[in-house]
Chain A
Amino acid sequence: MNKLKKFGLGILISLFLTISANADKIRIGTEGAYPPWNSKDASGKLIGFEVELAWALCRYIGQQCVIVEQDWDGMIPALQMRKFDAIMAGMSITDERKKVITFSQGYADEVASLAVMKGSSLEGMDTPEGVNLNLGGADVKKALKTITGALAGKTVCTQTGTIHQNFLESGDVGKVNVRTYKTQDEVNLDLASGRCDVALAAAVAFTDYAEKSGKPVVLVGPTFSGGAFGNGVGVGLRQASQMGEDSTQGKRDAALLKAFNKAIDQARKDGVISRLAIKHFGFDASM
């Protein structure tokens, strides 16, 4: 019995030590399935723009970090349940998300684009190169009308719970037959197999897939920004009010927001964000 007690105590102590060892580390959640933003290499190690940026920001903050993997559809709930402290997963800053979490300043901006397989009837759509939904005006309206016509009766695929899904369901391009997937990988697979007539995601997600798989995936129509597409990608953090602003946890959350904003400022000034963006995207996506 005594031995058993000692054994139990030992487990408790080691548990406590692991918890306290992790307590002052910043835990950052990422998806690991949205290249080139974040993905995994063949050995399962997390790689990508945001993974490297996360390490850089942690050095600026001066605290140790742990990067945690989390499925996209449970990202925000996991943050709120304190499974980790920050989200860096290509998550765009949108009003809808701001209702439940808060964001640091944006560190990078992406444009979205439609993609089809080569030979699709959607190729050669007559639209301007870019559509910024914040601007509005006759040009944007005309482009959206062209896209509405092109998407009618087509199966449009996109990842669940993304700005892209929000846009397709916003009514801007009429009533679209949307099919949603858990990951971008699955969207790519079904675009290639022909189950999807057209897909919507970050333009770089498609170019990355086309390059790595060798499949003839081509971008069509304009690149999208503004409106439902949010205002750049930032670090998602808990609202300090979630646990009470005067509570220890609330104070820690508020301090984290400040720390990330400062770190992003410094990283931008030092050219770290630009350098990492060029390395992973092939162009300067920093903001």
Chain B
Amino acid sequence: MDINLIITSFPKLIIASFTTIKLLSVSLLIGLFIGLVFALLRINNNIILGKIAYGYSYVFRGTPLLVQIFIIYYGFGQVELIRESIFWSVLKEPYWCAVIAFALNTGAYTSEILRSAFQTIKPGLIEAGKSLGVNSKIIFYKIQIPIAIRQSLPAYGNEIILMLKGTSLASTVTLMDLTGVAKYIISTTFKPIEVFIIAGSIYLFFTFIIHNIIKVLEKKYSF
């Protein structure tokens, strides 16, 4: 065990973890929005929109994240039509390719989490609102949304942790995230054990923080 290497690579990995956190938060933010939209489409009465939303979640939950990144990054890069379109200025950047893949992936899972949360709301609660003459918009914002958020917290916390680990795939499209920098250090020092132990510990630390934030939120919004 090379203690010196652990000490010298620690600050580099900490700096790299900012990229990881940035990737994670941007993807989660976009993914949450996508997830909410598609969850609403699912519980909507429109059959066609519901099927489209189901198809999206089916495809993105049914294929590996790595394959999705490769299709978006290397796959789209091979198509001339895309390279000449306006989308290329975004797809040219590895960062945005990774964000798009992560956001679409987490969006699919989030839509499922939110859908089930909406569907588990007891009809009695909505009926109670209706019987008091509250209009349906307010019922949605004041009754359905808060309950759905509370219901989905444990599952969504799990999804955040899965995405945190998923961001390590960003290194496959040349991004220098935590895993990318760890691999870079290994390629010059040839010592994988030391470096991966620190990188793993940093991921573990982030998981610890996310886990506890979710726990606090769960307590705060329990009823």
State the A residues within 8 Å of B (CB). 73-74, 76-77, 80, 96-97, 100, 157, 160-161, 165, 179-182, 186, 189-190, 192-195
Most buried by A among B77, B184, B187, B188: B187
* B contact patch SS: helix
Contact status of A160 and B187, CB under 8 A, knowing A180-B174, A193-B83, A194-B92: yes
Cross-interface CB contact of A161 among B77, B92, B187, cutoff 8 Å? B187
B78 at the interface (CB under 8 A from A): yes
Cross-interface CB contact of A77 among B74, B94, B186, cutoff 8 Å? B186
Contacts of B187 in A (CB 8 A): 73, 160-161, 165
- List 20 other contacts, CB 8 Å, given A160-B184, A194-B92: A73-B186, A76-B190, A77-B186, A77-B190, A77-B192, A100-B190, A157-B174, A160-B187, A165-B187, A180-B174, A181-B174, A186-B74, A189-B74, A192-B78, A193-B83, A194-B77, A194-B83, A195-B77, A195-B92, A195-B94
Contacts of A100 in B (CB 8 A): 190
Cross-interface CB contact of A190 among B77, B183, B188, B190, cutoff 8 Å? B77
| Number of chain B residues close to chain A: CB under 8 A | 16
State the B residues within 8 Å of A (CB). 74, 77-78, 83, 92, 94, 172, 174, 183-184, 186-188, 190-192
Complex Cα–Cα for A123 and B174 (A) = 26
Complex Cα–Cα for A186 and B69 (A) = 13
Is A189 touching B78 in the complex (CB atoms < 8 A)?
A: yes
Contacts of B83 in A (CB 8 A): 193-194
Complex Cα–Cα for A128 and B115 (A) = 66
Contacts of B77 in A (CB 8 A): 189-190, 193-195
